[in-house]
Amino acid sequence: MTSDFETQLRAVSLRVTRPRLAVLAALHDHPHVDTDRVIALVRADHPTVSHQAIYDVLRALTDAGLVRRIQPAGATARYERRVGDNHHHLVCRSCGAIVDVDCATGEAPCLDAPGDHGYVVDEAEVVYWGTCPACATARISQ
């Protein structure tokens, strides 16, 4: 797995560093986590990596397109490794759990705007808000 991450870093001309590999590994195992959780995951295995280094890595990986940053309204920014497929997200209003949903049509921008006002639309970001199964069950049993 690590060698995959090395290949991906080299493909976008980023130097292979331990913090970058650690962040990619953390996001591979834990999609849709916020910065604090990434820091906790990375530092569990690499206690010497600083918070600032992890912030910098997240920015570099996002800028390079290896990591996608999503930010549902009212939530902290989350990061994920699944990039480039225009997938969308289900978000639980109650607990904030996030699940991937495939693109509704298979390719960006997914939805046609009823009026584009002359804009060239390349992306429609869809967030499906609702209640996750765990929260729905908890509600019924209350």
Tell me which residues touch Zn ion (CB under 5 A): 80, 92, 94-95, 97, 100, 132, 135
Quick one: 111 or 126, whose CB is closer to Zn ion? 126
Quick one: 12 or 95, whose CB is closer to Zn ion? 95
d(CA 71, CA 69): 7
Instruction: Give the shortest CB-115-to-Zn ion separation in angstroms.
Output: 29
Quick one: 50 or 76, whose CB is closer to Zn ion? 76
Quick one: 49 or 66, whose CB is closer to Zn ion? 66
d(CA 81, CA 36): 17
d(CA 1, CA 21): 10
Instruction: Give the shortest CB-37-to-Zn ion separation in angstroms.
Output: 15
Q: Is 103 annotated as a binding residue?
A: no
Q: What is the CB-side half-sphere exposure of residue 3 using CA atoms within 13 A? A: 0
Q: Is 135 annotated as a binding residue?
A: yes
E strand or H helix that includes residue 107 = none
Q: Is 132 annotated as a binding residue?
A: yes
Please state whether beta strands 98-101 and 33-34 pair in parallel, antiparallel, or not at all (unpaired): unpaired
Beta carbons of 86 and 108 less than 8 angstroms apart: yes
Instruction: Give the shortest CB-102-to-Zn ion separation in angstroms.
Output: 10
Binding-site annotation, residues: 92, 95, 107, 132, 135
Residue ranges at the known binding site for Fe cation = 107
